[in-house]
Structure 1
Amino acid sequence: MNLSTKDFDFQLPEELIAQTPLENRSSSRMMVLTTETEQIEDKQFEDIIDELHPGDALVMNNTRVLPARLYGTKEETNAHVEVLLLKNTEGDTWETLMKPAKKAKKGTVISFGDGRLKATVVEELEHGGRMVEFSYEGIFLETLESLGEMPLPPYIKERLENQERYQTVYAKENGSAAAPTAGLHFTEEILDKIKAKGIKLVFLTLHVGLGTFRPVSVENIDEHKMHAEFYQLSEEAAEELNETRKSGGRIIAVGTTSIRTLETIGKANEGVLKATSGWTDIFISPGYKFSVVDAFLTNFHLPKSTLIMLVSAFAGREFVLKAYNHAVEEKYRFFSFGDAMFVKKKEYKED
């Protein structure tokens, strides 16, 4: 299927890009898409409980976002440097992006928080990338929590007052450069109601890299290469999901990160889920055959992004673009702090 990047474009008024989270996580709106009938419904996020049925499994990414943006000064010149942590390669060595990068040569030492944390450039990479080695007293993550800021996407211009609003309520495993934003709508109260209805809550981990947000720079989408991201699925989670499938329940993914993890593992094992960890660079676009996911929750994504391509692979490109145009007309809020979309194959019928 030869599709080009512009086949996933749509007009988005800038004022629909949500700049701040809503006061109450679950007061977002939710558009429900039924692919079989191409039905579009406008609902509230709380209605998600009606979309989930006893015996289903709701799969959530429990990654926790690192406060990965640091502002420091070069020891030699006192010049200001912004450092964004991308990936912990080993020990205290990290792959980072720096601004301005040109003057951050190998051997440069950058100091943060009056020297409480220092980074020495050990290798120069392309596109402003630098490998650095950190030195500090005590525990690295505690130092980072006190000095770093949340690495909000570039389309969010407002400062985030409460950093926890860019974490899901079930965030646990440190390591992401961005939040798995579909999960931001859940509250403990809604999760309790979901469990009480007989739906399993299953957790996996995928540490989101900034490559998720990178625009697709090639015209033919088949030539696009995804950045690899680390994932992990436990024995217990794999067993619960296989059991759900056997007993006729649906596997419902929260967010594109959960979808990519489940499909990576399922694709390698003919639809069966196994406890495993590794790096995935799976790129899901129209023509892809899903082997695990039956329905999913997601937010509204950037035009021409890999994320809208993934949604289109499941629901059909024309239907998805129709839904996005409806979202613009109805003034849904877009992107990380925006509203939600629930996508399913067909209407549920009671036996």
Structure 2
Amino acid sequence: MKPARWPGDHPEEGRLLHVEPRASRFKDAHLADLPSLLREKDLLVVNDAATFPASLLGRTASGERMELRLLSHEPDGTWLAVLFGAGDWRKRTEDRPSPPVLEAGARFTVVGLSARVVEVLPPSPRLLRVAFEDDGAELWSALYQGGRPVQYAHTLAPLSLWHVQTGYGARPWAVEAPSAGLPLTWNLLLALRRRGVRLASLTHAAGLSSTGDAVLDAALPRPERSDIPAVTVAQVEATRAEGGRVVAVGTTVVRALEGRAAMNGGRLVAGESVTDLLLGPGFVPRVVDGLLTGMHEPGTSHHALLQAFAPLSLLGDVAAHAEAKGYLGHEFGDSCLILDT
């Protein structure tokens, strides 16, 4: 499947492939059709995490060039991060030279910030826990002044931070965009409200989707934190009580809702938590009825996640159809709605 190479000027005009798992069928549509595919009293839940500049260029103490991609902010103030070799947006990460070897205690500088390696973590010497000398406003100011959003080699040019923000982004928790929500413009959201569809939000710290390293990629996604407001829990309960369906915008929303429920015996509870829940074949969702997501190719980690909602055989037919019809994939591509009517 070809990747979309740049954000569209009118993302709400993008294509939408509607998949109905129970009926084993699918049909072509457009995002503008989304209100007609949902029902009054359905609930659409979005991830309102804003994307922050998690790609940091720098050098080791000996002067070797490197890139550090932040993965998650830990409770003790340290950061988990992935180390990359030198390169820019034009070169795929898997084609870059190997990064320098940094051991515990090693010091380096990125975007003007001094930092040190606290520890090297399994399963790869590229996975690090790092500590910055600055914190608070000084740290975040440096990140926003010198950092960049994570880049992709299939894009036409370097991405700016505004290219990877949803229209409703709030707290800067996401190191990569919760991309399923990128085409949800305010016009489309208002059309959903006029249809009688409820809207709710949560915040989930979307991590890296890929590193170009097979060993590291096999360990993704890492545990990620979420914050589910009490009002969202109330909306889920009201939707259930009135026979509506809960539709997640993106796999991060599924992970947040289902992970929180799994911690509480199937009951959704408000609050902040960290989930290591992995979605995939055999997982039966207890909160979410449907999923709005991007187009994902077979063999990718995101495609495996979709098997929690539809069988692999159907997803294979969907992927073949999407390829034949010219659907576009990746962050700025077309959308897929997995939801029974």
TM category (shorter chain) comes to 0.7 to 0.9
The alpha-carbon distance between structure 1 residues 256 and 33, as it changes in their structure 2 partners (threshold 3 A), is: same
Match of 1:71 among 57, 74, 87: 57
Amino acid at match of 2:117: V
Q: Which runs of 5+ in 2 are unaligned?
A: 86-98
2:190 equivalent to 1:195: no
Q: SS in structure 1 opposite 2:236?
A: helix
| 1: CA distance, partners of 2:310 / 2:259 | 19
1:179 aligns with 2:180: no
**How many equivalent pairs are there?**
323
| Residue of structure 1 in register with 2:151 after alignment | 152
Q: Where do 1:1-351 residues align within 5 Å?
A: 12=1, 16-74=2-60, 76-90=61-75, 92-100=77-85, 101-113=99-111, 115=112, 117-125=113-121, 126-136=124-134, 138-153=137-152, 156-210=154-208, 212-213=209-210, 226-269=221-264, 271-346=266-341
Amino acid at match of 2:161: Q
Indicate how the Cα distance of structure 1 residues 144 and 234 shifts in structure 2: closer, same or farther if over 3 A, else same. Answer: same
1:219-254: CA deviation from partner (whole Å, max 9, x where unpaired): xxxx98852111221111111111111011111111
Alignment partner of 1:111: what SS?
strand
Amino acid at match of 1:61: N
Tell whether the 8 Å contact from 1:70 to 1:84 is kept in structure 2 after alignment: yes
TM normalised by structure 1 equals 0.84
What are the ranges of 5 or more consecutive residues in structure 1 without an aligned counterpart? 1-11, 347-351
Q: Please report the RMSD computed on the Cα atoms of aligned residues, expressed in angstroms.
A: 2.5
Query: Structure 2: how far apart are the matches of 1:258 and 1:34?
Result: 20
Structure 2 CA distance for aligned equivalents of residues 320 and 214 of structure 1:
25
Alpha-carbon distance in 2 for matches of 1:289, 1:107:
44
How much has 1:201 moved relative to structure 2?
1.0
Give identity over the alignment, percent. 27
* Inter-CA distance 216–260: structure 2 relative to 1 (3 Å threshold): farther
Instruction: Kindly provide the amino acid, as one letter, of the partner of residue 62 in structure 1.
Output: D
| Letter paired with 2:74 | T
Letter in 2 for 1:171: G
**Matched residues in 1 for 2:154 and 2:223: separation?**
24
1:92 shift after superposition: 4.5
Q: CA deviation at 1:52?
A: 1.9
* Aligned-partner residue type, residue 119 of structure 2: E
**TM-aligned CA deviation for residue 49 of structure 1:** 1.4
Quick check: 1:225–1:283 contact (8 Å CA) kept in 2?
no
- Structure 1 residues 46 and 291, CA gap change in structure 2 (3 angstroms): same
* Deviates most, 265-274 or 84-93: 265-274
* d(CA) in 1 for partners of 2:308, 2:134: 46
Counterpart-to-counterpart distance in 2, 1:302 and 1:118: 39
1:159 partner SS:
coil
